[in-house]
Amino acid sequence: MKKRRGRGVGRIIEVHIAELSDRWEGLAELEGGKVHVPNTFVGDRVRARVISRRGPMRRALREEILEASPLRVEPPCEVADRCGGCPLMALAPETQRRLKVDRLRGALLGAGLAPEVVEAAMLEPLGDERVLGYRSKALFPVARREDGRLIAGLYEPHSHDLVPIESCPVQGPIVNRILPSLIDLLRDERVAPWEEASESGTLRWLLLRESFAAEEALVGLVTAGDLPEGLGERVAELHPSIAGVLEVRNEDAGNRAVTDDVRLLAGRDHLIESVAGVETRVTLTGFSQVNPGVASLLVAEVMEALQPAAGEGTLLDVYAGAAPFGLALAGHFGAVLAIEADPVAAEAARAAAQAAGLTRFEVSTGRAEDALALIPSDDQAPPAAAIVDPPRKGLVPEALTALVATGVGRIALVSCAPVALARDLAELNARGYRLERLRPVELFPQTHHLEVVATLVREDVPPSR
């Protein structure tokens, strides 16, 4: 029985969640349409308040769980029900993995891949037991509380209401040690949070990165105005694990935090992290995996996927970032060509290769489609293998075409977006590459993201044994 109190926005409803949407929000039937309710799961019966309506589709925020889904567990965070950062935290880790793999399977079948091909390729998920304290990167927007005090945290779903956070269970230990004292210092220094409505204030986000191997951190202050003189040095003195303090200037409208305008305020501008036994250089704004422990398992899976192609041939590392994959696999191939558009990450890859004494490790700075197009087509000696780790949107068509044109024998396609992955696999299959294996990797516990390593082999290359 659904409870009705008016028909518009603000109305209170009682619904039973029957399925999850593409965005992992609970979906319930309501008067011939659907209502989306974040922070709910299949089997929940909830009371919710409608916040928007478009035709038969409504969106509502949960106000009370009237009957809990049997899937629910007690989340290990006191703000899990309000914070939008960990939408799956109220599910057991094994349930999270099962649902994410089911979503991956559905995306692959929806893209037209044959069920027997998907099932033959699918392997058991990889992960480790650490489902908390695994993240090495944190990005917290800041705001002004009603009493005027600065707070940092994460937004509630579908709102601009900031949930204050001074310790987060999924963040690493150093970030959690630094954050409370950093917030206190910013309050004492009277650093004003940026207010979008009035376009006034200074500080927009706190960006923190830590190295689990070195037990050090970088602190980034994302600003739209001038900081107090000498603040960087005072931040650096907060904790001995702070290796560097940087300012990221961002006066652009919108929700993109990082820009290229980065200035070192104190200490140094990078950390050293160890992934699969290889030291990599991590910068504040460059790309690197946020779960270093499981990233080592990810590298091992890529290595196993490409091992049949190992030898004197060339390995392509496309969308390389700081090249953790290419650096780890360099000893198994004759040469490595890493391709990365971000100049900061590309320089970090060069520095790491030089430090490791890798003389046949080349880094090309530029777009993947442009760099791949420069590789000469050679039917006699095409690249032996490629690691391709594109952004969440997947391969742009020009990059996919250029990759296929190289004639590369084996591809390890790494993705955290099942729909984009499924689209790219279907297209590569149509261009003459067969799917050999699929390995889900639980890199982001408590969230709906799932990393996947898909191995493809050119049709005229014999299957591995």
Q: Is 202 domain-assigned?
A: yes
CB 364 within 8 A of CB 292: no
* pTM for the full predicted model: 0.88
Query: Which three-class secondary structure state does DSSP give residue 355?
Result: helix
Q: CATH no. for residue 206?
A: 2.40.50.1070
Residues 306, 259 share a domain: no
> Which pLDDT score, from 0 to 100, does residue 359 have?
94
Beta strands in 296-397, from DSSP E residues, in sequence order: 314-318, 335-340, 361-365, 385-388
Residue 465 confidence (pLDDT) = 41
What's residue 380's pLDDT? Answer: 66
Listed ranges 27-41, 155-169, 231-245, 274-288; the one with the highest mean pLDDT = 231-245
Please tell me whether residues 219 and 186 are part of one structural domain: yes
With a CB cutoff of 8 Å and minimum separation 6, the contacts of 129 are none
Query: Can you give the pLDDT at residue 462?
Result: 61
Q: Are residues 56 and 141 in the same domain?
A: no
Looking at the fold, whether 105 and 208 belong to one and the same domain comes out as no
Query: Which two tokens mark 219?
Result: 């602190």
Domain presence at residue 397: yes
Phi, psi of 179 (to 5 degrees): -55, -50
Is it the case that residue 283 has pLDDT exceeding 90?
yes
Burial of 230 per CB tally in 10 Å (0-12, 13-18, 19+)? exposed
Choosing from 67, 88, 112, the residue where a domain stops is 67
Q: Note whether 60 and 111 are same-domain residues.
A: no
Average pLDDT over residues 55-84: 93
Same domain, residue pair 307 and 204: no
Residue 48 domain-assigned? Answer: yes
Region 127-141 average pLDDT:
95
From 271, 297, 251, select the one nearest 452 (Cα to Cα).
297
Arithmetic mean of pLDDT, 72-82:
93
pLDDT score for 276: 85
pLDDT-wise least confident of 33-37, 149-153, 246-250, 252-256: 252-256
Q: Where in the sequence is the domain holding 27, given as residue range(s)?
A: 12-67
Q: Is 92 domain-assigned?
A: no
Provide Rg for the chain, Cα atoms. 24
Structure confidence at residue 278 as a pLDDT band (50, 70, 90):
confident
Task: Give the 3-state secondary structure of residue 253.
Answer: coil
Range of lowest pLDDT (282-291, 325-334, 361-370): 282-291
Task: Choose among 204, 82, 76: nearest CA to 144.
Answer: 204
Q: Are residues 201 and 307 in the same domain?
A: no
Please state, in angstroms and rounded to a whole number, the distance separating the CA atoms of residues 370 and 301: 28
Question: Token digits for 270?
Answer: 């990078």
Per-residue pLDDT, 140? 97
For residues 332 and 220, state if they share a domain.
Answer: no
29 with 148, same domain: the answer is: no
> Rounded to the nearest 10 degrees, how much is the dihedral formed by the CA atoms of 4, 8, 13, 17?
130
Residue with tokens 């069920």: 115
Residue 286: inside a domain: no
- Give pLDDT tens digits for 208-218: 999 999 999 99
Structure tokens at 115: 């069920």
Token pair listed for 57: 């589709």
User: How many domains would you assign to the chain?
Assistant: 3
pLDDT of residue 5: 43
| Residues 148 and 124 grouped into a single domain | no
Is the pLDDT at 204 greater than 50? The verdict is yes
For residue 376, give the 3-state DSSP assignment: coil
Q: Which of 83, 86, 168, 416 is catalytic?
A: 416
207: left (phi over 0), alpha (psi -120 to 50) or beta: beta
Give percent above pLDDT 70 in the chain: 97
With residue 26 as reference, give the H or E element that holds it. strand 26-30
Q: Is 374 exposed, middle or buried (0-12, 13-18, 19+ CB in 10 A)?
A: exposed
Q: Could you tell me the CATH number of the domain that includes residue 29?
A: 2.40.50.140
Instruction: Give dist(CA 62, CA 438) in Å, integer.
Output: 36
pLDDT tens-digit map of 92-130: 999 999 999 999 999 999 999 999 999 999 999 999 889
| Domain end call among 67, 86, 108 | 67
* 419 is a domain residue: yes
* 332 DSSP assignment: G
Does residue 203 have a pLDDT over 60? yes
Single out the residue in 275, 304, 326 at which a domain terminates: 275
Q: Quick one: three-class SS letters along 289-323? A: CCCHHHHHHHHHHHHHHHHHHCCCCEEEEECCCCC
Does residue 1 surpass a pLDDT of 80? no
For residue 333, give both structure tokens: 């191939």
In tens, the pLDDT along 348-394 reads: 899 999 999 999 999 999 999 999 999 987 666 899 999 999 999 99
Task: Report angle CA 44, 134, 415 to the nearest 5 degrees.
Answer: 75
174, part of any domain: yes
What's the CATH number where 103 sits? 3.40.50.150
| 168 among known catalytic residues | no
pLDDT of 6 > 50? The answer is no
Does 385 map to a domain?
Answer: yes
- Shared domain for 449 and 376, answered yes or no, is yes
- Label residue 189 by pLDDT band (50, 70, 90): very high
Q: Say yes or no: 351 and 450 in one domain.
A: yes
